[in-house]
């Protein structure tokens, strides 16, 4: 019986078949079942202790199920992938004619199978607790629907971070374990509370408002869309965004799996993702109950945006930049094209820099920054009323330029020969970002007078922008543009030089053959 069922699974997805074969052993299944039963026994005794009040158990299960799935699922997936990559077994699977989707889906469904099993064994008790707490069963439909989508999101993200971890750390075992622990921490203490609270206050408000005090979010809006007040809108909004998130992650995962040497995210998708994130955040600021009137409000909210963007663009740079060898190959390819017609060459170069997978990421990063400036500036001009528009716009431009400088440094660093360039880049950018405010704090004890221009060179520029003199702002911006120009020229030169010398190495390597052979003329 079991064999036929497994056989069917194996025909549909060999990878899932393999994971089930390896994990669903008699002992492990028994162990998980016993653990689930023990847990239910404990929860049952809790109900009796509380004078047959099922509500605490209902709440516990609401939290416990996602916690199990998110945290344990991520940890299992990350360790499994790390192990496969360390052993080198993933390469065989890569060479098979299976699609990356099929393999990764098999991993996603199969690796945490014992966690899924444990969760499934808790479902009957969850149903009972829901009924006993006088909550409609339709809540469970919403609960498990969202849980499924959230699992797809967070477990795909765990797979992705396992891949990314290998790129940045170079498969050091202890570092790998640290990354897994860190992920468990972030998922359990970051994602889980956000997920539960968001759902509690918006999506499940209809069902749970009677049980505990959820109020306060009824008037939550997104671009005036009443998310807090309408359950259907709340569901669609949440599912749509989570679904989009899953879609983005899978786009990157597929590329990670197939050709890890190129850029992990296509430039085309980077623009869409940036727009998605900015509009998602911005939507929550555009609602009837929220308004920004004073200049400080505006400086504050844009400062918040610039911090979020700092993180997002850090990730984006990692995803968009091809590895060193790919960059060198690209440079060699451009070098070999230097004899073609210059107009056509320039056009192809531009479209390559904007859309191409192997080209440097700088131009694409600039376009992403431009996109952010355009979105935020539009909002500001529409909604700001009395606020100093010109100064705010300068702020947006300044932060975009600061980010562009960081991106240029990061891209320059990818050309360095050192394998651990990502670490060096992190240190360099961290220093650049936080040295100015550190100096500021040390020198002025909060009273910033002479260090303002320095702060204008960091993402913290919003703190001093309101009081900075227009001339200082203008000069800082010019200075930043100059620095950016220098870095870009430096990067272009370095890359062109490397392209030339790579070509030469290739050619001289052939010419000095030990036993020269005739060249083929194709």
Partner 1 sequence: MAQELAVRTRGLTKQFDRHLAVHDLDLEIAAGEVYGLIGPNGAGKTTLIRMLAAAEEPTTGEIFINGDRLLRDHSNPNLKQRLGYLPDDFPLYDDLTVWDYLDYFARLYRLQEPRRTRRLRDVLELVQLSHKRNSAIATLSRGMKQRLSLARTIIHEPILLLLDEPVSGLDPIARMQFREIIKVLREAGMTILISSHVLSDLAELCTSVGIMELGYLVESASLQELYRRLSRQQIVLATLGSLEALQAELKNHSSVEGYEVMPGTQQVRVQFSGGTEESAVLLRSLVAAGIPLTEFHCTQEDLETIFLKLGHKQAS
Question: 209-240: b or e for each residue (b if 16 or more CB lie within 10 Å)?
Answer: eeeeebeebeebbbeebebbebbebbbebbbe
Is 88 one of the binding residues for partner 1 (CB under 8 A)? yes
Please give the radius of gyration of the chain, using alpha carbons only, rounded to the nearest integer: 27
User: Interface with partner 1 includes 95 (CB under 8 A)?
Assistant: yes
- Tell me the window of 7-15, 70-78, 121-129, 221-229 that interacts with partner 1 (CB under 8 A): 7-15
Stretch that binds partner 1, among 48-56, 149-157, 274-282, 512-520 (CB under 8 A): 512-520
Report the residue from 2, 4, 26, 520 that binds partner 1 according to the rule CB under 8 A. 520
Min. distance of Cβ 234 from partner 1 in angstroms? 41
Q: How many CB atoms lie within 10 A of CB 367?
A: 15
Instruction: Determine the 3-state secondary structure of 225 from DSSP.
Output: strand
The single residue among 3, 4, 11, 48 that binds partner 1, judged by CB under 8 A, is 11
Q: For partner 1, which stretch binds (CB under 8 A), given 29-37, 82-90, 213-221, 463-471? A: 82-90
Span interacting with partner 1, options 12-20, 300-308, 373-381, 421-429, rule CB under 8 A: 12-20
Q: Does 26 bind partner 1 (CB under 8 A)?
A: no
Q: Token match 């679904």: residue? A: 243
**Is 89 a residue that touches partner 1 (CB under 8 A)?**
yes
Shortest distance, CB of residue 344 to partner 1, whole angstroms?
23
Closest of 106, 109, 112 to residue 77, by C-alpha:
112
Choosing from 18, 276, 334, 345, the residue that interacts with partner 1 (CB under 8 A) is: 18
Cα distance between residue 284 and residue 235, in whole Å: 16
Decide if residue 502 touches partner 1 (CB under 8 A).
Answer: yes
Q: How far is the CB of 104 from partner 1 (least distance, A)?
A: 14
CA gap 16, 111 in Å, rounded = 8
Write the secondary structure of 251-288 as one string of H (helix), E (strand) and C (coil).
HHHHHHHHCCCCCCCCHHHHHHHHHHHHHHHHHCCCCC
What is the smallest separation between the CB atom of 461 and partner 1, expressed in angstroms?
39
Look up residue 369 and give its two tokens. 């920054």
Which residue from 15, 62, 359, 476 is in contact with partner 1, where contact means CB under 8 A? 15
- Here's the x/- map for partner 1, 412-441, by CB under 8 A: it reads as -----x------------------------
Q: Which CB sits closer to partner 1, 35 or 506?
A: 506
Establish if 510 lies at the interface with partner 1 (CB under 8 A): yes
* 179: its two tokens: 């990354």
Smallest distance from partner 1 to CB 515, Å: 6
| Closer Cβ to partner 1, 415 or 465, answer by number | 415
Under the binding rule (CB under 8 A), the answer on residue 109 touching partner 1 is no
Q: Nearest approach, Cβ of 246 to partner 1 (angstroms)? A: 22
Cα–Cα nearest to 154, from 126, 178, 181, 190 = 190
Collapsed DSSP state (helix, strand, coil) of residue 226: strand
350 binds partner 1 (CB under 8 A): no
Binding mask 214-253 for partner 1 (x = CB under 8 A): ----------------------------------------
Count of residues touching partner 1 (by CB under 8 A): 40
Measure Cα distances from 261 to 128, 251, 357 in Å.
51, 15, 10
Contact 262, 358 (CB under 8 A): yes
DSSP codes of every residue in 120-180: HHHHHHHHHHHHHTT--THHHHHHHHHHHHHHHHHHHHHHHHHHHHHHHH-S-HHHHHHHH
Q: Which stretch binds partner 1 (CB under 8 A): 152-160, 346-354, 393-401, 502-510?
A: 502-510
Work out whether 170 is an interface residue with partner 1 (CB under 8 A).
no
**Residue 179: partners with Cβ closer than 8 Å, 6 or more residues away:** 78, 161, 162, 165, 169
* CB within 8 Å of 442: residues ≥ 6 apart: none
Q: Is 337 in the site for partner 1 (CB under 8 A)?
A: no
Instruction: Enumerate binding residues for partner 1 (CB under 8 A).
Output: 10-11, 14-15, 17-18, 21-23, 87-89, 91-99, 258-259, 261, 325, 328-329, 417, 501-502, 505-506, 509-510, 513-515, 517, 520, 522
């Amino acid at each position: 019986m079991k064999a036929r069922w497994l056989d069917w699974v194996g025909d549909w997805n060999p990878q899932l078949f393999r994971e089930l074969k390896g994990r669903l052993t008699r002992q492990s299944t028994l162990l998980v079942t016993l653990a689930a039963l023990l847990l239910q026994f404990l929860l049952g005794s809790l109900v009796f202790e509380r004078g047959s009040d099922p509500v605490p158990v209902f709440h516990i299960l609401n939290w416990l199920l996602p916690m199990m799935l998110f945290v344990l699922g991520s940890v299992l997936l990350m360790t499994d992938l790390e192990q496969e990559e360390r052993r080198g077994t993933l390469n065989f699977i890569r060479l098979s004619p299976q699609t990356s989707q099929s393999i990764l889906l098999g991993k996603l469904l199969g690796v945490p199978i014992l966690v899924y099993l444990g969760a499934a064994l808790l479902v009957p008790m969850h149903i009972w607790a829901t009924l006993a707490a006088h909550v409609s069963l339709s809540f469970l439909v919403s609960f498990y629907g969202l849980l499924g989508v959230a699992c797809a999101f967070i477990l795909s993200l765990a797979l992705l971070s396992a891949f990314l971890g290998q790129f940045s750390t170079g498969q050091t075992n202890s570092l790998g374990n640290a990354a897994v622990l860190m992920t468990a921490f972030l998922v359990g203490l970051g994602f889980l509370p956000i997920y539960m609270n968001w759902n509690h206050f918006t999506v499940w408000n209809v069902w749970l408002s009677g049980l505990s005090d959820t109020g306060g979010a009824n008037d939550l809006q997104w671009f005036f869309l009443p998310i807090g007040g309408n359950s259907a809108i709340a569901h669609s909004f949440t599912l749509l965004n989570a679904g989009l998130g899953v879609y983005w992650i899978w786009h990157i995962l597929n590329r990670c799996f197939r050709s890890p040497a190129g850029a992990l995210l296509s430039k085309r998708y980077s623009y869409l993702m940036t727009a998605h994130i900015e509009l998602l955040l911005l939507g929550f600021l555009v609602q009837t109950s929220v308004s920004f009137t004073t200049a400080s409000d505006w400086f504050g909210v844009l400062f918040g945006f610039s911090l979020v963007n700092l993180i997002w663009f850090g990730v984006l740079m990692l995803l968009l930049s091809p590895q060193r060898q790919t960059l060198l190959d690209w440079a060699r390819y451009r070098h070999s094209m230097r004899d073609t017609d210059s107009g056509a060459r320039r056009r192809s170069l531009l479209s390559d820099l904007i859309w191409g997978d192997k080209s440097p990421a700088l131009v694409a990063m600039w376009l992403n920054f431009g996109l952010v400036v355009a979105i935020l500036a539009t909002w500001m001009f529409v909604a700001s009323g009395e606020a100093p528009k010109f100064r705010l716009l300068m702020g947006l431009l300044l932060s975009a330029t600061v980010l562009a400088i960081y991106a240029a440094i990061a891209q320059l660093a990818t050309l360095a020969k050192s394998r651990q360039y990502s670490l060096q880049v992190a240190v360099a950018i961290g220093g650049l970002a936080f040295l100015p405010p550190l100096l500021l704090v040390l020198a002025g004890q909060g009273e910033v007078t002479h260090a303002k221009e320095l702060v204008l060179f960091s993402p913290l520029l919003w703190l001093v922008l309101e009081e900075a003199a227009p001339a200082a702002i203008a000069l800082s911006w010019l200075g930043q543009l100059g620095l950016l120009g220098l870095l870009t020229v430096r990067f272009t030169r370095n890359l062109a030089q490397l392209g030339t010398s790579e070509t030469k190495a290739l050619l001289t390597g052939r010419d000095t053959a030990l036993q020269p052979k005739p060249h083929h003329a194709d």
